Structure 1
Amino acid sequence: MEINIRPAEDTDAAELLILMQKLIEESDTFTVEQDLAGITPEQQAGNIELLNSTTNNILLLAADDENQLYGLLSAAAVAGEPRTVEIGMAVLKEVQGFGIAQALLAELMDWAIDFSSVEKLFLTVQSHNQVAIHIYEKMGFVKLPNSERQLMNQNNVAVAAFDMVKRLVKG
């Protein structure tokens, strides 16, 4: 099976909602602020179109040739800091360990450097998620000093987390 990384399109909306629900069910590190049951595919398509109309927001998908989705990476502009994006990423368990997360991050960095107005990538990672931390460090992210805190995971359990950042060099 070959997985491709590509920007989301409005036609991905229904499958994207299904993927997000699967990720919520199988992971305690993936959270969504909105109640997915309240989002229609039409609304999701509108959200994707809105993201795609900006230079500082993107939603990337990991999909096979039949358009089955296996992972996602969102980069959303931070309020008040239009050149900084906050990243959220998740990959289905069945395909973890195949380099999809690294491929999503590499595609994000290519977009950020070549096509976006973004200068800094920001994320929050749960301290126990050593696999993700390793990937982020490998891709050049560094832990922000004094950023340790507790956050609530999707199961309403407080977990330790910290922030990481990567500044981009545009040439």
Structure 2
Amino acid sequence: MIRNQTRDRTQSRNERVRHPQTVSVSLDERGQTTQDFAVGIGVFLLAIAFVFSFLPTIITPFDSSVGGAETAQADRIADLIVHNTSAGENNISKSEFQTYTKSNLTAELGLRNANGNTLDQVNVSVEYLGNGTMIGSPSTWSGGDAYNNQSAASSARIITTDENKCDPACRLVVRVW
């Protein structure tokens, strides 16, 4: 059985219909230059830098005025107090601690002052670490400037006292602002 072919009889078997070829365009003909590319990349990088510098201010609404210097100073003061008042492994002597219960601790802690005015505010207190309260008056275990929940760098040490007022332990907290 012979099939009927639907081709035009005038076309030969080897001849095919040609479609127009796509013409490739070089960079010279497109109009984009190296300067255009550099400007585009520059604007893109500036936009990315702006987003990365602006985004943290949106995420953190409150910026702390406490820096690394205050944190290091609070840590140094806590170490100094534990070292000077220790009657043994972080066991603080009450009689030695009385040096740090004054309202002005500039001389005792080596704080900065200018013309008699203290530049660094510090609060030293011993807080009970447990479910009850510490035996004795809190004023006998605190000193320095009044701390009213303002932004401050703090450092804490777990201690006991020679009078066994802390059961099981207390916490020495030093705040600097």
Q: Same fold (TM over 0.5)?
A: no
Larger relative contact order (C-alpha < 8 A, sep ≥ 6)? 2
The TM tier, using the shorter chain, reads: under 0.3
Taking structure 2 as the reference length, what is the TM-score of the superposition? 0.26
| Structure whose alpha-carbon radius of gyration is higher | 2
